[in-house]
Amino acid sequence: METVQQKEENRMGTMPVGTLLRKMSLPAMFSMLIQALYNIVDSVFVSRFSEKALTAVSLSFPMQNLMFSFAVGISIGICSVISRKLGEKKNNDALSAAQTGYTMLLICAALFTVIGLTTSKPFFKLYTSDPELINMGTQYLSICLCLSAGCFVACCCEKSLQATGDTFHPMLIQLSGAIFNIIFDPICIFGLLGVPRMGVAGAAVATVAGQILSMVVGIIFVRKNPYVPIKFSKPSLNGNSVRNILHVGVPSVILQGIGTIMTSLMNTILISFSILATTVFGVYFKLQSFVFMPVFGLNQGLMPILGFNYGAQNRKRMSKALRLGLTVALSIMIAGCALFQLIPDKLLDLFSASEEMKAIGCTALRRISLSFPLAAVCIILGAQFQAIGDGWISMVISIVRQIVFLVPAAWILGKTGGLDSVWFAFIFAEVFSLAMSLFFFRRETRRFNF
């Protein structure tokens, strides 16, 4: 009779790759779609409260993104280590990585509590002197950062489970928090069903409450998993596990977090044209998440497959999984690009966009979305770099793309061609990023004989 371990090994190492990728990715893609829907609905309700509230949430994005960068980046390191150790049949090392990763993320949550208490108000003062906007933004951001433990622990649970080949329960973890958030957003923002009217602070309260629910659901599922039954009441650190997680996790944090620097600098460039330009930029990020999130969900299913078969030295299965991942990702991104090209005005109407906002936003959505198919290839190749423990490659590409190329190009185009020209910088940066990704991929292909 087969043990649970043998069944899992059969699944990750012998199940037809197409079937395996579908089983691994579809739950994650679905949950990420719900997460994207939550991101959009959150801003839609905030925009109904006031345009200034929407601007406050948009300006909060860089700091929120920094928090998510640590949560997701360290969790990607955990996932990479666990999947490789399971492929090598070192189950105790896999459990050690899960336990250590959980402790590392608790430390990160404590750090962001301090950041939320000390930097929320000064952060908004960098962009505006409007006291109402500063007050709204400070309320929203401080709540999201100071009560971030739910986000960090939920991420740990999701990635630990995904690394073992379980993508169904991570889907439920994300769904529980996202659905809760969607339901309670209007209740908390507008003061329905006897709840006090909290405005933009209500959006933050609904967000962190959803994250805490996800954390509770995640803890329940992880404790039942035979490979990563983390002892949540006993945080502990293992030196080797810390090093292994950080080897992939630090580049992943930087990879995720570089967006914080990019969006901050882009907001500085855009605000020189108008505050509405920064609002459009924030709305774009909400809308593009509906296209990018399914691709990131595909990545969540793809990376453990690549990592496991890399550990098992099965190059043929790695190559097939990568090709299938590229095909699906390109299909999603091309469809998203078509949507942004055909109905940008309808998408902006979701956020009660004024005519002035539409005039800026339609041009922005059409031009930026031309980069989507290029981004699909870069994202999938990045999954392979992370799966084999070379996450630093994705980090280098991201830094060069966003800081060395995108921001300077946006500044130059803005100075020479005005606001409408700024958006072309995203296309130029993605072309450069694709060239770098293909260069490193070819080098890794030769190195490992894929």
For residues 430 and 391, which has the higher predicted lDDT (pLDDT)? Answer: 430
Q: What is the pTM of this model?
A: 0.72
pLDDT digits (tens, 9 = 90+) for 108-134: 999 999 999 999 999 888 888 889 989
Q: 23 pLDDT exceeds 70?
A: yes
**What's the 3-state SS for the chain?**
CCCHHHHHHHHHHHCCHHHHHHHHHHHHHHHHHHHHHHHHHHHHHHHHHCHHHHHHHHHHHHHHHHHHHHHHHHHHHHHHHHHHHHHCCCHHHHHHHHHHHHHHHHHHHHHHHHHHHHHHHHHHHCCCCCHHHHHHHHHHHHHHHHCCHHHHHHHHHHHHHHHCCCCHHHHHHHHHHHHHHHHHHHHHHHCCCCCCCCCHHHHHHHHHHHHHHHHHHHHHHHHHCCCCCCCCCCCCCCHHHHHHHHHHHHHHHHHHHHHHHHHHHHHHHHHCCCHHHHHHHHHHHHHHHHHHHHHHHHHHHHHHHHHHHHHCCCHHHHHHHHHHHHHHHHHHHHHHHHHHHHCHHHHHHCCCCCHHHHHHHHHHHHHHHCCHHHHHHHHHHHHHHHHCCCHHHHHHHHHHHHHHHHHHHHHHHHHHHCHHHHCHHHHHHHHHHHHHHHHHHHHHHHHHCC
Q: 4 pLDDT exceeds 70?
A: no
pLDDT digits (tens, 9 = 90+) for 386-423: 777 676 787 788 888 888 889 999 999 999 999 999 99
Is residue 13 very low, low, confident or very high in pLDDT (cuts 50, 70, 90)? low
pLDDT digits (tens, 9 = 90+) for 282-339: 889 889 988 998 898 898 788 878 877 777 777 788 888 889 999 999 999 999 999 9
Is residue 448 very low, low, confident or very high in pLDDT (cuts 50, 70, 90)? low
Is residue 28 very low, low, confident or very high in pLDDT (cuts 50, 70, 90)? confident
For residues 431 and 299, which has the higher predicted lDDT (pLDDT)? Answer: 431
pLDDT digits (tens, 9 = 90+) for 154-206: 999 998 888 887 878 888 998 899 889 889 999 999 988 888 999 889 999 99
Is residue 2 very low, low, confident or very high in pLDDT (cuts 50, 70, 90)? very low
For residues 44 and 311, which has the higher predicted lDDT (pLDDT)? Answer: 44
Q: 9 pLDDT exceeds 70?
A: no
**pLDDT score for 450:** 53
The overall average pLDDT reported for the chain is 86
Q: 433 pLDDT exceeds 60?
A: yes
